[in-house]
Structure 1
Amino acid sequence: MKLRSYLILANTISIAFIILLLLVFFQYMLVTKEQLIWLALATVGAGIVSSGLFFVLVRPLEASVRRIGEGAGRIAAGDLEARVADTGLLEFKQLAEQFNRMGVSLEQSFRQVKAAESAQRELVANMAHDLRTPLASMQSYAEALEDGVIEDETTYRRYLSTIRSETVRLGDLIQDLFELSTLDAGAQQGTAYSPAVAEDVLVELLPRFTLQLEKKSLQLRVLLPEHSLKVYMLERHLQRVLQNMIENAVRHSPHEGIIRIEAEEPSDGFVRFTVTDEGEGVPQQERERIFERFYRLDRSRSREGGGAGLGLSIAKLLVEQYLGQIGVEQANGQGSRFWFTVRKADERSVMPENTRIEVETL
């Protein structure tokens, strides 16, 4: 039943009830016949006027309800940009505002879902390419060795070395993907731990790059404060961030270039780490996207150099979990300066409030 019909029916029942009371009063001689007629006519007239008022006043209510219904129908049909005008009575204005807020929320959620689906498709496509490349290389070299086409010892060992390096590359990619999934899985706050000591992390980390530095005749220069430098970050996470940045610097540095690793203590309570190379640099328009997953400035060169486009995105996730910041800027002269900040640690070993630490599960 429509709202207008419902109100008119209620008004008609009220009139009928009043006339029934008048008949009862006349039956018991409480009113005269003439009074009964006049009262009945007055009641019917008042009912007609009331019905007319109902008809006029209900129209805006019907229009407001109709607008909201049409908006809901458009959203149900897939038009998430549908909105309704917030006109009419106060209650309907509030209802329209709430409806529009709901529409905005649904539209944002839908866009996030679409973006997540697009990112997932891109992730799968990039994973397939990056996994297929080392697998195809290993397969071709293994088939050559299996067929016995390689006779000299030098070539034989070179093929084995290539298979081994591609295996390491594949393992690194799988580890990066696992770490990304772990970082996305969740976080825990207020975890107690021992602060990382920057010099200890670098002493353990830098020997891993000896062969890569010698291969390109690179110089590595480290500049740290004279006193021990402690930061609010798990040691393995600080090592991971620095490792990813140094790997990126080695990959893009020219032969006989210089890589500088520095740490300084501004007055804001944070420690700022920088890794500077003398490579080709990062264009201004690319400096935000370079921290996206699988993003490469030069895709062909990055693939040949072994980069999967995950290292900097992992570094960004780790740094931001510790309430730090990360970025890249133009170095003095040629090259890029990658930097990140981590809160400086005091004598306590408790994570600052609101810090997020990923939890690994076995």
Structure 2
Amino acid sequence: MAATRKNGTSPGRAHRGATSNAESTRFNLPSRELDGDWLDARAAIDGEPVPVRTTVSLLKPKTIISYNKSPDVPFDRSINTMVGCEHGCIYCFARPSHAYHDLSPGLDFETKLFVKPDAAVLLRRELAKPGYRCAPIAMGTNTDPYQPIEAKWRITREVIEVLAACDHPLMITTKSNRVLRDLDLLVPMAQKDLVGVAISITSLDPRIAMTIEPRAPHPERRLDAVRQLSEAGVPVYVNMAPVIPAITDHEVETIVARAAAAGARDVSFIPVRLPWEVAPLFRAWLDTHFPERAGKVMAAIQSLRGGRDNDPGFFSRMRGQGPWADLLRTRFDIARRRNGIERVTGRMQLRTDLFRPPAGGQGELF
């Protein structure tokens, strides 16, 4: 019989989100065998799952700014300094992108990571192009720019240094308090209305948090980051993204209240999204950790998504539809008003008129 935690959930693979290395059905990706090296013997001795190491490889892209034309996101460009994310969030809609590297959106996504060490050099080059038009750059929209490996690689910081030197606007989304390390860069940018930070908090219950986001910082550390950013004068927001019905939705009012008390200017939400390979991974995770309510959770998600596991339509993918979505919106609106939060359209109003292209020749890049 599988072991269980005190809250009745099965432990799954220790400190990892996905329960398997599911194959990609879109690219004929073969199923992956877990690589635990000599630790494989541990499974034969005590029956525990094989520990999976985190590895980091280098990527050498030719450009670093990605552009999009999505009408339901408040930015048209972004920078991802890393591919894959060690936080291991089971719901992460970026998981399917790992299939483009011939890797699984499952455990590979959170254990076989890639970094872009030339990101800052590439950014300076692109910002210096004569035709470049300044608009806010988003970081953290795909994988977290402050996941654990950033402590060693410092690529996110190098990118912010370039943007700060050029007075270029920046929006950061993260679920890590590691963003506080870069306060020395963010505070001067905030004084010029050049930066905003959104902290993702999905649950304040540490048992739930470590199950859905096994390697992300403790929720209280994230709330403390909200407080410190606010006290330092950096505009900070909280995203309850995603809200998972029957698992985290009961915390809506508490998270809004705690975020407001910590100084968040607004609190937003996105119902859980399950695109492509995320849906079977999420279902397997439910069966492992919350088998007693798996059916209820999926029924609520399908209610939000027009009877499907996922709704890819613009706008509706972010808001959901039906009674569940209406109820969530109503609860958030009431909680915001109760805690003195007034909604502001286009919440991160950042300046673009201060931008100065990088000066000097190629020699200044090194």
Shorter-chain TM-score above 0.5: no
Which has the higher relative contact order, 1 or 2, with Cα contacts under 8 A spaced 6 or more apart? 2
Larger gyration radius, structure 1 or structure 2? 1
Scaled by the length of structure 1, the TM-score of the pair is 0.20
Superposition TM-score, scaled by structure 2 size: 0.20
